[in-house]
């Protein structure tokens, strides 16, 4: 195993051929890196490079912000929220929610926890490193480094929430890891179920219809860690992709202005973090179940040279052994089924076995 620890300015003060061979040497060492955090890389190595500056985007309107404050108490508020979810899902595939009732202190402590984890010495972190996408808890870097020719400027933690991983699989450092992450997962699971009911009603279905179609649940978290990058114009934090699950509830880092962008009407649009809000986006399974009424949307993440950005993505979806097809209520003579039935577990396996590539996964199940 190679632990990079710190590589102080290995690349910074070289030029020409000497620099190129230095680059190659560092690039090959990076092949063994178990994480970018603290690697001290001073120039973006070849395998992290992209052809054009991904930070270019257009700042048009903001995605809709939907208030969930009174949705369980008052029927006009519920009708308004459901209407807003319907139009936001159709027009954008992305929206932000406020008044969601998720404790703000827990949002803040979870954010700190992820920063604290990646501040641990690499020896403490690397015991969790794995490239096995079926592990219930793991630390990773990029997407699947051993298969990638193009890497992404990020490290991450993946944690299974429901079904959960064993407590013994979770980190003992920082000492509050288990307590905070399990409290976050529980509160997020409750919120996800409420949002699932609202999605159902927004499609004109009974509140429990999507839950029934999910046939159980698979809820996981990906805690993305994007360290500052010396040349952010040359690389990307996360390549364009659509999420393969039902829907995602994302907590952004309110200390960092730029990061997430979504593809809207052919242009990349930045999603500015809103304090206290979560970003919600449609995933492939909701696109399939809704028979194309809602669509998963490509999104990507850019990095910056000043600050580490953390995001916490909670992926909610069907049970892995469920078979997913367009809901019978949404298939008509005018709107025949657009997708073949597929086993969700298999769908996920093929998603994780390939590189992040826009909406490639859903095309494989389209008629």
Ligand X SMILES: O=C(O)CCC(=O)C(=O)O
- Smallest distance from ligand X to CB 271, Å: 8
One-letter-per-residue 3-state SS of 7-54: CCCCCCCCCHHHHHHHHHHHHHHHCCCCCCCCCCCCCCCHHHCCCCCC
Residue choice 219, 222, 264, 295 for contact with ligand X (CB under 6 A)? 222
Q: Please choose, from the candidates 291, 292, 296, 327, the residue with its C-alpha nearest in 3D space to the C-alpha of residue 209.
A: 327
**What single-letter DSSP state applies at residue 165?**
P
Query: Least CB distance from residue 16 to ligand X, whole Å?
Result: 36
* Count of CB atoms situated within 10 Å of the CB of 103: 11
Q: Considering the rule CB under 6 A, would residue 314 count as an interface residue with ligand X?
A: no
Which is nearer to Fe ion, 155 or 243 (by Cβ)?
243
Q: Which does 311 bind (CB under 5 to 8 A by kind): Fe ion, ligand X, none?
A: ligand X
Q: Is 258 in the site for Fe ion (CB under 5 A)?
A: no
Cα gap 11→13, rounded to integer Å: 6
**Residue choice 311, 314, 322, 342 for contact with ligand X (CB under 6 A):** 311
* # of chain residues touching ligand X (CB under 6 A): 12
- When asked if residue 239 is in the footprint of Fe ion (CB under 5 A), the reply is no
Nearer residue to ligand X within complex by CB, 63 or 301: 301
The residue within the footprint of ligand X, chosen from 224, 290, 296, 322 (CB under 6 A), is 224
For residue 40, the Cα-to-chain-centroid distance in whole angstroms is 25
The span of 25-33, 151-159, 166-174, 237-245 binding Fe ion (CB under 5 A) equals: 237-245
Q: Across-strand partners of 65?
A: 96
Residue 61: cis peptide before it, omega within 30 degrees of 0: no
φ, ψ of residue 157 to 5 degrees: the values are -120, 140
Other CB atoms within 10 Å distance of the CB of residue 81: 21
Answer with the entry of Fe ion, ligand X, none that 301 interacts with (C-beta below 5 to 8 A by kind): ligand X
Tell me the window of 39-47, 68-76, 185-193, 252-260 that interacts with ligand X (CB under 6 A): 252-260
Binding track, positions 257-296, relative to ligand X; x by CB under 6 A: --xx------------------------------------
CB of 302 to ligand X, least distance (A): 10
Query: Is residue 238 near ligand X by the rule CB under 6 A?
Result: yes
What sections of 73-222 are H helices per DSSP? 75-91, 104-119, 122-126, 177-202, 209-214
The Cα 195–Cα 211 span in angstroms is: 11
| Residue 33 sits in the site that holds ligand X (CB under 6 A) | no
Residue window 277-316: x/- pattern of binding to Fe ion, with contact defined by CB under 5 A: ----------------------------------------
What span, in angstroms and rounded, lies between the C-alpha atoms of 202 and 282?
Answer: 13
Could you tell me which of 236, 311, 187, 205 has the C-alpha nearest to residue 56? 236
Q: Is 138 in the site for ligand X (CB under 6 A)?
A: no
**Does 86 interact with ligand X (rule: CB under 6 A)?**
no
Minimum CB–partner distance for residue 279 and ligand X (Å): 7
What is the rounded distance in angstroms from the CA atom of residue 105 to the CA atom of residue 43?
Answer: 37
Q: Is 299 in the site for ligand X (CB under 6 A)?
A: yes
Q: Which residues pair with 281 in a beta bridge?
A: 94, 248
Interaction partner, residue 253 (ligand X, Fe ion, none; CB < 5-8 Å by kind): none
Closer residue to Fe ion, CB minimum distance, 42 or 274: 274
Residue 345 tokens read as 């577990």
Nearer to Fe ion, 291 or 296 (CB): 296
243 binds Fe ion (CB under 5 A): yes
Q: How far is the CB of 4 from Fe ion (least distance, A)?
A: 27
The least distance separating ligand X from the CB of residue 52, rounded to whole angstroms, comes to: 20
Q: How far is CA 103 from CA 4, 99, 106, 191, 209, in A?
A: 38, 10, 5, 11, 28
**Whole-number Cα distances in Å, 199 to 5, 271, 319:** 45, 21, 18
Q: Which residues bind ligand X (CB under 6 A)?
A: 222, 224, 238, 243, 250, 252, 259-260, 299, 301, 311, 313
Residues that bind Fe ion (CB under 5 A): 243
């Amino acid at each position: 195993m190679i632990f990079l620890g710190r590589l102080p300015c290995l690349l910074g003060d070289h030029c020409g051929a000497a620099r190129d061979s230095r680059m190659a040497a560092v690039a090959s060492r990076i092949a063994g890196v178990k994480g970018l955090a603290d690697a001290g890389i001073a120039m973006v190595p070849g395998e992290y490079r992209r052809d054009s500056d991904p930070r270019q985007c257009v700042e048009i309107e903001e995605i809709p912000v939907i208030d969930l404050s009174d949705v369980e108490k008052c029927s006009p508020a519920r009708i308004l929220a459901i209407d807003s979810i319907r139009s936001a899902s159709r027009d954008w595939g992305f929206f932000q929610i406020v008044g969601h009732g998720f404790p703000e202190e827990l949002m803040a402590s979870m954010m700190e926890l992820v920063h604290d984890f990646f501040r641990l010495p690499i020896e403490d972190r690397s015991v969790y490193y794995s490239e096995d996408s079926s592990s219930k808890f793991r630390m990773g870097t990029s997407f699947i480094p051993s298969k990638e020719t193009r890497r992404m400027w990020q490290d991450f933690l993946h944690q299974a929430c429901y079904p959960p991983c064993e407590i013994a699989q979770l980190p003992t450092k920082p000492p509050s890891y288990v307590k905070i992450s399990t409290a976050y997962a529980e509160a997020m699971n409750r919120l996800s179920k409420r949002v699932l009911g609202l999605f159902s009603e927004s499609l004109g279905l009974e509140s429990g219809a999507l839950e029934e179609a999910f046939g159980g649940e698979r809820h996981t978290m990906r805690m993305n860690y994007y360290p500052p990058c010396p040349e952010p114009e040359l690389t990307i934090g996360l390549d364009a992709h659509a999420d393969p699950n039902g829907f995602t509830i994302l907590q952004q880092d309110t200390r960092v202005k730029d990061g997430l962008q979504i593809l809207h009407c052919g242009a990349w649009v930045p999603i500015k973090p809103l304090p206290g809000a979560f970003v919600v986006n449609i995933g492939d399974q909701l696109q399939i179940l809704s028979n194309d009424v809602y669509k998963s949307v490509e999104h990507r993440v850019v990095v910056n040279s000043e600050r580490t950005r953390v995001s916490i993505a909670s992926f909610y979806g069907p049970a892995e052994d469920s078979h997913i097809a367009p809901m019978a209520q949404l298939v008509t003579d005018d709107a025949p089924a657009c997708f073949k039935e597929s086993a969700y577990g298999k769908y996920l396996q093929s998603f994780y076995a390939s590189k992040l590539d826009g909406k490639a996964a859903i095309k494989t199940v389209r008629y």
